[in-house]
Amino acid sequence: MTKEEENILLKEGKMLPVMEHFYTIQGEGAHTGKAAYFIRLGGCDVGCHWCDVKESWDPNLHPLLSTQEIAETAAKHCKTIVLTGGEPLMWNLDFLTSKLKELGCEIHIETSGAYEMSGTLDWITLSPKKTGLPKPSIYSKASELKMIIFNNNDFKFAEEQAAKVSENCKLYLQSEWSKREEIYPKITDFILANPKWQASVQTHKYLNIP
């Protein structure tokens, strides 16, 4: 296949740069504890300095795989599919999500919201970053808002972002992993003072699973 043919399939979403895909238990947010098949797409230019998957940033490091084959593999394991990255909305997700829907799947996405939406999505986890703010249109569609807390100023940013989502959107505060012993006591105090928020913990890291 020529580079030009690859680029056409990439634009159509029929091939995507896949860093990894695996069956595990969702570790964060409202669906914590559920079996889920994760599809991690390569490519992200939001540039969070504390990102724990920086190896996902360069899409050229990851193979272009057939979207249909990935969808079929995922659906064989379970019907809850999580699209993550990187930043999955960098790519056209229409083809992937239509195939997953044909296979009876519920599709979740974890996104910074920095790119326009594509695809058919059942659950949208919006995790805004100061380095690349969400597109205004995504706020009303978010199912849950997951704010990563790295320093005290992030609580103010979290409140600013919470003011933009719908009243049905679940609100989560999650410590950046390396600072969890310092940050979770602050998150606890903040939630007790602001009970609309909930704590999210990266339980998969405690369980030592992907």
- Tracing tokens 């995922």 back to the chain, one arrives at 74
Q: What is the pLDDT of residue 177?
A: 95
Q: Is 50 annotated as a binding residue?
A: yes
Distance of CA 111 to the CA centre of its chain: 4
Residue 128 in marked binding region = yes
- Tally of CB atoms within 10 A around 80: 19
| 119 marked as binding residue | no
Question: What CATH number should be reported for the domain holding residue 52?
Answer: 3.20.20.70
CA distance 78 to 80: 6
- Return the percent helix, strand and coil in the chain, to nearest 5: 40, 25, 35
Cβ-proximal residues to 39 (8 Å cutoff; 6+ apart), any chain: 18, 21, 70, 74, 81, 82, 83, 84, 96
Is 48 annotated in some ligand binding site?
Answer: yes
85 is in an annotated binding site: no
88 is in an annotated binding site: no
**25 is annotated as contributing to ligand binding:** yes
Full residue range of the structural domain in which residue 112 is found: 3-206
Place of tokens 């360069």: 58
57 is in an annotated binding site: no
Report the C-alpha gap between 27 and 129 in whole angstroms. Answer: 20
Annotated binding-site residue? 161: no
129 assigned binding-site residue:
yes
Domain count, the chain: 1
What pLDDT does 57 receive?
A: 84
What are the mean pLDDT values of the chain's consecutive 10-residue runs (210 residues total)? 92 96 98 98 84 82 94 98 96 98 98 97 97 96 98 98 98 97 98 98 95
Does the CA dihedral 32-36-37-39 come out positive or negative?
A: negative
- Confidence (pLDDT) at 97: 98
Give the pLDDT score at 51. 82
> Does 185 count as an annotated binding residue?
no
